[in-house]
Chain A
Amino acid sequence: MSTKLLFDIAWTHVTARVRQTLVGMAGVAMGVGFTIMMAGLMEGSQIDFLRQLVDTMPHITIQDERRAVPTQPADQEYGAVQMSNVTNLNNRPGIRYPESVMASLRSWLPGDVAPSVRTTAIIDHGGGRIGVTLTGIDPRLETRVSKLATQMREGVISDLSRAPNAIIIGEALAQKLAVKPGNSVTLIGGKGTEVTSSVVGVYRSGLKRIDEGQIYALTGFAQIMMGQSGVINELRLRLNNPLVAQQVATQVEAQTGYKSVSWQEANADLLSTFAVRDFIVLTVMGAMLLTSSFATYNIISTITHEKRQDIAIMKSLGMREYAVRRIFIIESAIIGFVGILFGWLIGYLLCYGWSHITIYNPLTGANVPLQIYYSPTHYIVAGGISLICCTGAAFFPARKATRVHPVEIIRGAS
């Protein structure tokens, strides 16, 4: 059966009912348009959040610990005896031969590595005391493994070298303590070491928990605060492609023996929340597209009902049942296809409009623009699903209508 004939009949039916057809197309267009907008908005906000997350932390952190607690000497000696209250023997903290480890990693790593010292401290200024994480860094290497240099709001990262006790603090912490660059604060280390240091810079990562709880100093100063001179207890890696961090971390851990934590592992709970959110969003978008196809279902149902005589006569003339059914599926596809084209336009315009909207964040006091991610995949997937929904919606009324025996209709009309 000539497809052109079926298309001509379908086109004639569709164009003969301009208002119904436009309503159907509008339904599809709205469904597709809002789906694209939602997808762009959700993926945009997610990507923006992950980018902030990835930018504020190393892609992989090699820590001076093992995945499993090492077998203790008492266990080795008296493995068959149950012992309690035996204090585990801990080796000296820190990564052994960090320079060798870094050199070895640099030989194959798709990125760079820098040493650091991580310890905890209390920062005291004017009576306000806040516990923070103090990270000792090498300013020259830091630019290779973090975005700290670009996150500086006041001062520059190399200002750390201006004084041995210099520190860089987060913007939120600076506001909390009413500290400005040039002010002196007191730092109290884990072993009671109390040192006066000067603030030389303020950074802003965008994540409040980081900005409030993370300060930077030179490696040597952090070692003093830790009470362990010469120790490097963390190697931080930055990869060219952060998405492969998990695989690289596994390789690094196998090579060094030290626990290597990728950013994905460190934020596993958060990422699983994203997965749940993605599922919810996909469900809602699917429901939107399905709902929009109901308009098409209604139109095809109406047309098949009105065209019962035509169906009967086409069958009596010798057109096969499936060919007649295809006419109505083509009609639905026409409505869906044109609706999808308009839906793409609506989706783009919505995304464009939404990207100019800013939302005031009362916690940070900043106007945050809505992040929109433009992806052809959104358009293709929304269009594809919508087309499937439309043709599916037409299939059932078309099948029902074309199964009618022509004699029944002809007798009824005569």
Chain B
Amino acid sequence: MSEITSMSEVASEVASEVALQAVGLVRRIEGAISHTLVNGIDLSVRKGEFVAITGPSGSGKSSLLYLLGLLDAPTEGDVVICGQPTSKLSESDRADIRLTRCGFVFQFHFLLPEFTSLQNVTLPMRAAGKMTDKEMNERGLELLTSLGLKEHAHKRPNQLSGGQRQRVAIARALSNQPEIIVADEPTGALDTTSTEQVFSILRDIADSGRTVVVVTHDPALAARADRRVHIVDGKIHDSIPGAIQGSSPAPEPAVAVGASAAES
């Protein structure tokens, strides 16, 4: 009896460590020709873990990322964010989770062109409406300063370089202090120097205890993640532990259920 209790406690402890979980995730596009983008993926990502999703073009890695970030809804399966299943939530509730628990970074910066860097960064905070203007501005400036953009706080996106815009986008993703950051090829449109900067920032974010899931084509960058999940034809092909970076948590073996099925 005591052994069972002990196992249950361990399971509970493990569950509490999981920030993001995909359970039997399927995304199918119905139409004249049906197409399965994501085909039965099970994946668990721990708190503070930096996971890189790789794969050839059209393999379903971005689709998986959009499902994990609740930007898209699965045809089957569920996404569990910090222990909360999301498949039965309304679109409004999913929007609330995106606003407060997930931060997005895309290949293109998608900053509002008429707004300054600071205004773009404070946008999610203003949407959440939990802070005063002063607090939001202070936090926004703090984020921009931490990303080396203090002097660009009042510039508009068209006055910034590609790397600076992407860093502003990262600051915006961090503004509501989300537990999870999802990034879809955030360095895809950047030069080598900017790529290095952005990836280092993402690495630092993970090291600070947040969960980071990044889609990338770059194997060198993927190798710097705690774990690399390779997707082929909408399924996990393999899940490989990456290099240990800085003070990141020890890369425990991935809780990547389904990988074996894909391999077989």
Nearest A residue (CB) for B114: A12
The reply to whether the CB of A321 lies closer than 8 angstroms to some CB of chain B is yes
Do residues B112 and A313 form an inter-chain contact, with CB atoms below 8 A? yes
Within the complex, the shortest CB–CB distance from A313 to chain B, in Å, comes to 4
Among B10-18, B88-96, B142-150, B256-264, the stretch that binds chain A is B88-96
User: A319, A323, A406, A413: which contacts B108 (Cβ < 8 A)?
Assistant: A413
| Distance in angstroms between the alpha carbons of A154 and B252 in the assembled complex | 115
B126 touches A313 (CB 8 A): no
Indicate if the CB atoms of A317 and B123 lie closer than 8 Å. yes
Q: Is the CB of B127 within 8 A of A406?
A: no
Determine whether the beta carbon of B129 is less than 8 Å from that of A316.
Answer: no
Main secondary structure of the interface of A (DSSP, over half): helix
Chain B 149-188 near chain A by CB (<8 Å), digits 1 or 0: 0000000000000000000000010000000000011001
Which residue from B102, B107, B115 sits with its C-beta under 8 Å from A414? B107
From known contacts A5-B127, A407-B66, infer whether A313 and B110 are also in contact, taking CB-CB under 8 Å. Answer: yes
A313, closest chain B residue (CB): B110
For A407, the chain B residues whose CB sits under 8 A away are 66, 71-72
| B184-A414 in contact (CB<8A) | yes
Q: Does A239 contact B (CB under 8 A)?
A: no
**What string of 1s and 0s marks CB contacts (under 8 Å) between A72-108 and chain B?**
0000000000000000000000000000000000000
1/0 contact string of B91-109 vs chain A (CB within 8 Å): 1100111111010101110
Q: Are A9 and B124 closer than 8 Å at their CB atoms?
A: no
B154 to chain A, nearest CB (A): 15
Chain A interface residue bracket vs B: 20 to 34
Closest A residue to B62 by CB, please name it: A411
Whether A413 contacts B110 in the complex (CB less than 8 A), given A318-B96, A407-B72, comes out as: yes
Chain B residues with Cβ below 8 Å from A16 are: 114
Taken together as a complex, chains A and B put the C-alpha atoms of A110 and B108 apart, in Å, by 79
Cα–Cα, bound, A317→B95 (Å): 8
Contact B127 A319 (CB under 8 A): yes
CA distance A318 to B81 in the complex (A): 15
Distance, CA A11 to CA B257, complexed state (A)? 49
Residues of A within 8 A of B115 (CB): 12
Minimum Cβ distance to chain A for residue B106 (Å)? 6
In this assembly, does A315 line the interface, its C-beta being within 8 Å of a C-beta of chain B?
A: yes
In the complex, are the beta carbons of A317 and B126 less than 8 A apart? no
Residue of A nearest to B123 (CB): A317
Interface assignment of A399: CB less than 8 Å from any CB of chain B: no
- A2 contacts the other chain (Cβ, under 8 Å)? yes
From A2, A315, A410, give the contact of B106 (CB < 8 A): A410
A13 at the interface (CB under 8 A from B): yes
Q: Is A310 an interface residue (CB 8 A)?
A: yes
Is A320's CB within 8 Å of the partner chain B? yes
In contact, B104 and A316 (Cβ under 8 angstroms): yes
Q: How many residues of B contact A (CB 8 A)?
A: 32
Contacts of B108 in A (CB 8 A): 410, 413-414
A1 close to chain B: CB less than 8 A: yes
Residue from B66, B69, B95, B185 in contact with A319 in the complex, judged by beta carbons closer than 8 Å: B95
Distance A411 CA – B115 CA, assembled complex (angstroms): 23
Cα–Cα distance between A323 and B71 once the two chains are bound (Å): 17
- Residue contact B124 to A317, C-beta cutoff 8 Å: yes
Alpha-carbon distance A323/B184, docked complex (angstroms): 25
A313 — which chain B residues lie within 8 A by C-beta?
106, 110, 112
Question: A299 CB to closest chain B CB, in angstroms?
Answer: 16
Contact of B100 among A318, A319, A323, A405 (CB under 8 A): A318
Contacts of A320 in B (CB 8 A): 91-92, 95
How distant is the Cα of A283 from the Cα of B239 in the complex, in angstroms?
A: 70
Given that A310-B112, A407-B71 are contacting pairs, would A414 and B99 also be in contact in the complex, using a CB cutoff of 8 Å?
no
| CB under 8 Å from chain B, chain A span 287-337 | 309-310, 312-321, 323
Decide: B71 and A406 in contact? CB cutoff 8 A. yes
Give chain A nearest CB distance to B175 CB in angstroms: 9
Chain B residue contacts of A4, Cβ below 8 A? 126
Of B62, B91, B114, B127, which one neighbours A2 at CB under 8 angstroms? B127
In the complex the two chains form, what is the Cα distance from A406 to B100 in whole Å? Answer: 18
Report yes or no: B129 in contact with A2, Cβ–Cβ below 8 A: yes
Give the chain A neighbours of B62 by CB distance below 8 A.
Answer: 411
- Chain A residue nearest in CB terms to B112: A310
* C-alpha gap A315/B115 in the complex (Å): 17
Q: Using CB atoms, name the residue of chain A closest to B101.
A: A318
- Known contacts A9-B112, A310-B112; A318/B106 CB under 8 A: no
- Tell me whether B99 and A319 are in contact (CB under 8 A): yes
Contacts known (A317-B98, A317-B99, A320-B92); A1 close to B107, Cβ less than 8 A: no
Q: What residues of A have a CB within 8 angstroms of the CB of B66 in the complex?
A: 407
- Also in contact, A318 and B127, with CB within 8 A (given A313-B112, A410-B110, A414-B106): yes
**Smallest CB-CB separation from A411: which chain B residue?**
B62
CA–CA, A125 and B78, complex, Å: 106
Considering the complex of A and B, which 6 residue pairs feature the smallest CB-CB distances, nearest first? A318-B99, A318-B98, A313-B110, A12-B114, A5-B126, A414-B107
Jot down 7 A-B pairs with beta carbons below 8 A, ordered by A: A2-B126, A2-B127, A2-B129, A12-B114, A12-B115, A318-B95, A410-B106
Name A's B-contacting residues (CB within 8 A): 1-2, 4-5, 9, 12-13, 16, 309-310, 312-321, 323, 405-407, 410-411, 413-414
Q: A12-B115, A407-B71 are in contact. List 7 more A-B contacts (CB 8 A).
A: A4-B126, A316-B71, A317-B99, A318-B96, A318-B128, A405-B72, A414-B188
Residues of chain B at the chain A interface (Cβ within 8 Å):
62, 66, 69, 71-72, 91-92, 95-100, 102, 104, 106-108, 110, 112, 114-115, 123-124, 126-129, 172, 184-185, 188
